Amino acid sequence: MTREPREDPPVVFRIDGRKIKSANDFYREIGSSVNGPGGYFGHNLDALADCLRGGFGTPEQRPYEFEWLHSALSRRYLNAVRVGQQTLFDAIRDVFSDAGVTLKLQ
């Protein structure tokens, strides 16, 4: 009997929305989520997109995703920041979507 190779479950990085009241807070929190306290994972939307493509702390050989805990709380603050025609919160969601990385809002 041949066994099917099993796929590893994704690594889950958790973002604590209670700590996010500004764009800088978001980048600090996602950096800490991936790379520990003081860790880097972008400092603007373009850098975030680059980081989501890999090589900045996310696993190379395993799927990964993000859970944004208390996202409604941080959304209130990030909705006040505009990026072109949309809010920063929506722009962040679009970056994740464009990169093909799951972002679960909790």
Question: Which residues of the chain are modeled with pLDDT < 70?
Answer: 1-6
- Kindly state the tokens that stand for 20: 């996010």
In a domain, 37, yes or no: yes
Domain containing 23 — which CATH number?
3.30.370.10
Q: Whole-angstrom Cα distance, residue 6 to residue 85?
A: 43
Q: How many domains does the chain have?
A: 1
Note whether residue 43 is domain-resident.
yes
**What range defines the domain where residue 32 resides?**
11-105
Residue 2 lies in a domain: no
pTM of the model: 0.90
Residue 21 lies in a domain: yes
Which pLDDT score is estimated for 61?
85
Cα separations in angstroms, 106 against 14, 70, 88, 91: 10, 6, 18, 18
